[in-house]
A and B are shown apart, each in its own frame.
Chain A
C-alpha cells in the first residue's frame, strides 16, 4: 500500500535540461586578456603605479568579470563556485609569492659576499665599516650552541615522550604534562631568553655564555622533540610490544630495544626539525650570549657582560646595526651573506629530516 498515494498527486516539477549552458573554453582566457589591457590603460591614464598595484587591480577586475559572465551564462550556483575557486587560487599565489621573493632577494643580496674567506674567517681585527671578514666564528658558535641544546633536549624529550606513551596513559599527571607541552610550544623565544637570563645570570650569577644561550634554545626545542617523539612512539604497533613481553622481556628493555629502534627514524626527524627551528632564533641569544668578533670554541667561557660567543643570527643583527640602515654598506652585505648561509643551513636540516622520514617509511 503506497503511502505516497494518500497525498494529493503533485504535478512533477519542471525538469531543468541536463545540458546547461557552459562557458566555452575560450571565454576565460579572452576575459583575462581584456582585463590586462584594461588595467594597463587604467594605469597609463591615471596616477596608479607599481607592479603590485597592477596585479591587484587586474585580479579584482578579473574576479568581477568572471563572476558576472558566469552568472549570465551558467547561473548563480556556478558563478559562486567559480568565484570561490578563483579566491582559492589567489590565496595560493599570495603564499607562494613572498616565499619566492624572499628567496630571490636573499640570494641576490647575499651571494655577492660569499667566498672561501667569508666562510673561514672571523671578524677579528676587521673594521666593521669596511669590507672584509667572515662568519666562521658565527657558524662555529651556532653549531656548538645547537649541539648543546640538542644534547639536553633530545634525551630529555625522548624520555618524557616515553613516559607519556608507555607509562602515563590517562593518568592526570600525564595529561597535565601533555597539556603543558602544548602550552610550552607557544612560549615566545624572547620569554625563554628572559627566563634564563633572570634565573641563570641574574639570580645564579653566571655570566653570559654560549651555554646560557643553549639553555634557552633547549626550552624552545624540548616541546617539539616531545611532541614528535610521542607521535612516532604511538605509531609503533602494539603487537610488537606484545611479542616482546611474551618472550619474557621486561618493559624497560622492550622500550629501549624494540620500540625505540622501530621509531628511531621518525624521532631523528623530529629532533632535526627541532634543531632547524632553534638555529634561526635570535632573541634569546642577544640576551644571553652577546656578540663576539672572535672565534670561541668554548661555550662555557663567560667573559664580561658582553662578549661570549658568536652565532649566525646575532651576527646578522649586529651587522645590520652597524650598517645603520645604509643598504649599500659592507656590513649590510655581510648580514645578507650570513642570512643566506643561515637559510641554507636551516633548509638543509629540513630537507634531510624529511628524507630520513621518507627513507624510514619505505623500509617499513
Chain B
C-alpha cells in the first residue's frame, strides 16, 4: 500500500552552496501533493531529494531526515538504488529509451531486477500500460520503438515504465510542461486515477494545474536574491488557493509576482 513521507529539517547543498533550507512537511499516502513557486526556488530540488536523485550531481548532498513510513531513506545502511525502486520518478522531458521497443521500455525496470519470465512481463506490460491509459493506443504495436510515439504518449509510456516496478510513491517533475494542452489534460486525468494506488508528488509551475489535480499544495520561494529556497506554506489545496495564511503565498497566487 502507498506510503507516507515525512520530511523534517532538510537542508540541500550544491557543494558548499545551500540551495534549500529547513524544509519540513508531511505527504499523505494516496494523495496528490503539488509543489508550486517561481523558478529557481527549489521545488525540483526538494522533489529530487525524495528519491535520492539529487546526490547524482557531483558535490551535492542532503542534511536532515526524510522518512518513508518511518524509515529514513538517508540512513547509513540504505542503498539509494533501493530507494529509487520504491520511489519512482517521471521527468519533465519524456525520456523513453530510444533503442528499446515500447514493450522493452515498460519492463526496463523489471529486467534490471532480473525478472524476465515472458508470462510475467507480458502481464506487467499490459497492466502498466492500462494503468497509464496507453494500452488501447499501443497494444497493436508493442514492438515499435518507444521514440516513435507522440510527446504525450511518450510521457504516458514513461509513467507506465515507472509504475511497472510497483513503486509506493510517484514523483513527477513538471510532467506536462513539454506537452500540448490536450496531452496535458490526459495526464491530469491519469493522475487522478493513479492516486488511488500511489502517493503522488508533482512539481508544477502551472498554478491552475496544481489547483485541479492536487489535494495538498506546498508553496516554495526564496527569501531574497542569493538566499536558499524555503517552504513558505503547505496546506490543503483549496485553502492555499482561496485563503492562504501567508501573505507571500497570496501574492504569488494572485499573480502579484512570479
Contact = CB atoms under 8 A, between A and B. Distances in A.
Interface of A: 2-4, 7, 12-13, 15-22, 74, 76-78
Contacts of A22: 77, 79
Nearest to B87: A18
Contact of B77 (A2, A7, A15, A21): A21
Q: Which 5 A-B pairs have the closest CB atoms?
A: A19-B77, A19-B78, A20-B79, A2-B193, A13-B166
B196 A20 contact: no
Interface residues of B, number: 25
Interface stretch (B127-135, B170-178, B204-212, B214-222): B127-135
A144 B79 CA distance: 62
Contacts of A7: 127, 130
21 contacts: A3-B130, A3-B131, A4-B130, A4-B193, A4-B196, A4-B197, A7-B127, A7-B130, A12-B166, A13-B166, A16-B82, A18-B68, A18-B73, A18-B78, A18-B82, A18-B86, A20-B77, A20-B79, A74-B79, A77-B113, A78-B81
B114 A15 contact: no
Given A18-B86, A20-B79, A12 B71 contact: no
Interface string B82-112: 1101100000000000000000000000001
A16 B130 CA distance: 25
Nearest to B193: A2
If over half of A's interface residues share one DSSP class (helix, strand or loop), that class is named, otherwise mixed; here it is loop
B130 A77 contact: no
A49 to B, nearest CB: 42
B86 A76 contact: no
Given A4-B197, A16-B85, A77-B112, 13 more contacts: A7-B127, A12-B1, A12-B166, A17-B71, A18-B71, A18-B73, A18-B78, A19-B78, A20-B82, A77-B81, A77-B114, A78-B79, A78-B81
Interface of B: 1, 68, 71, 73, 75, 77-79, 81-83, 85-86, 112-114, 127, 130-131, 133, 166, 168, 193, 196-197
Contacts of A74: 79
A3, A22, A77, A78: residue with the most chain B Cβ atoms closer than 10 Å:
A3
Contacts of B81: 77-78
A159 to B, nearest CB: 40
